[in-house]
């Protein structure tokens, strides 16, 4: 009885407390807005001609880097979260030809049923060549990959052994549905990252003007592979702008 009475007296107080609150406006229904993030792939010294990298991708001169920096800054200014991937290998990494006696750079070998391209040593963690060439303040997070000596990791989402990076959970946490991807190299890490983003269910747009490939034939093939998996391949940043709320894209 006592508790019922105290409940009643509490209820009697309620109109007073609610009348003190500001008037409530009903929530306006919002159409689902595709939320876009950006993944900038492996803009690191060792992958660029501008920094005389050990695995410099053709066309990665100062002009290219300036274009990537300008585009990334403008996307950041537009309020988009920007994520970077960073190749970050131990010195004894399996992808380095020098860790396979008798092998040469750019040879392909079979390793436990996978094809492994043997690269010149590159992006050794904490080395100068592993540094990101863009302002760190642009990035919501930097996702490092290829840290396990046993596996290569072209993708920013997972390595060849199937271990996931933080990328997908970061995107999910930010409620992202659309990612814009560009960087180096089109035919390896950009390709793998964009394909894994699409496989994870994100809408994906890849920008060719802001990307560079290792070789023409594999770059052409990579763009075909991306299109086949539903990735929107566009030449310019201005073509990559997210769909507007008035024209939502079905998932
Ligand atoms: Zn690597």
* Domain regions of the chain by residue span: 34-89+125-239
> Which residues are designated catalytic?
42, 145, 189
Residue 29 alpha carbon to ligand 1 centre in Å:
46
**How far does residue 15's CA lie from ligand 1's centre (Å)?**
65
Around ion ligand 1, residues with a beta carbon closer than 5 Å are: 87, 146
Identify the weakest region by mean pLDDT among 8-12, 28-32, 70-74, 178-182: 8-12
Question: What pLDDT is recorded for position 112?
Answer: 85
CATH of 34-89+125-239, picked from 3.40.50.850, 3.40.50.970, 3.30.1330.10, 1.10.10.10, is 3.40.50.850
Q: Which of 114, 111, 113 is nearest to 99 (CA)?
A: 111
pLDDT value of residue 72? 98
**Residue 250 scores a pLDDT above 80:** no
> How high is the pLDDT of residue 34?
76
**What is the distance in A from the centroid of ligand 1 to the CA of 22?**
57
Cα 153 to ligand 1 centroid, rounded to whole Å: 7
The CA-based angle 218-219-222, given to 5 degrees, is 85
Task: Please report the pLDDT score of residue 158 as a whole number.
Answer: 98
Q: How far is the CA of 251 from the centre of ligand 1 (A)?
A: 33
The helix (run of H) or strand (run of E) holding residue 179 is: strand 178-183
Rounded to an integer, the average pLDDT of 50-64 is 98
Cα 169 to chain centroid distance, Å, stands at: 12
The residue-averaged pLDDT of 92-108 equals 96
Give the pTM: 0.84
pLDDT for residue 21: 53
């Amino acid at each position: 009885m006592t508790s019922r009475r105290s409940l009643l007296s509490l209820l009697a107080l309620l109109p007073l407390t609610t009348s003190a609150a500001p008037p409530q406006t009903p929530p306006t229904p919002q159409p689902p807005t595709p939320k876009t993030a950006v993944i900038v792939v492996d803009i690191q010294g060792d992958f660029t001609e501008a920094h005389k990298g050990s695995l410099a991708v053709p066309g990665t001169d100062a002009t290219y880097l300036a274009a990537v920096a300008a585009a990334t800054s403008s996307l950041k200014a537009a309020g988009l979260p920007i994520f970077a991937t960073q190749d970050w290998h131990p010195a004894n990494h399996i992808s380095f030809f020098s860790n396979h006696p008798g092998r040469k750079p750019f040879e392909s070998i079979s390793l436990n049923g996978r094809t492994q391209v043997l690269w010149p040593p590159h992006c050794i963690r904490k080395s100068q060549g592993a540094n990101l060439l863009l302002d760190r303040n642009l990035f919501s997070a930097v996702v490092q990959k290829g840290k396990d000596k046993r596996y290569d990791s072209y993708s920013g989402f997972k390595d060849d052994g199937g271990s996931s990076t933080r990328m997908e959970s970061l995107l999910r946490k930010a409620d992202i549905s659309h990612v814009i991807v560009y960087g180096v190299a089109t035919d390896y890490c950009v390709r793998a990252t964009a394909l894994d983003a699409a496989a994870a269910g994100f809408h994906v747009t890849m920008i060719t003007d802001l990307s560079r490939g290792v070789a023409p034939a594999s770059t052409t093939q990579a763009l075909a592979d991306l299109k086949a998996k539903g990735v929107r391949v566009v030449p310019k940043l201005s073509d990559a702008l997210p769909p507007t709320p008035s024209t939502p894209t079905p998932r």
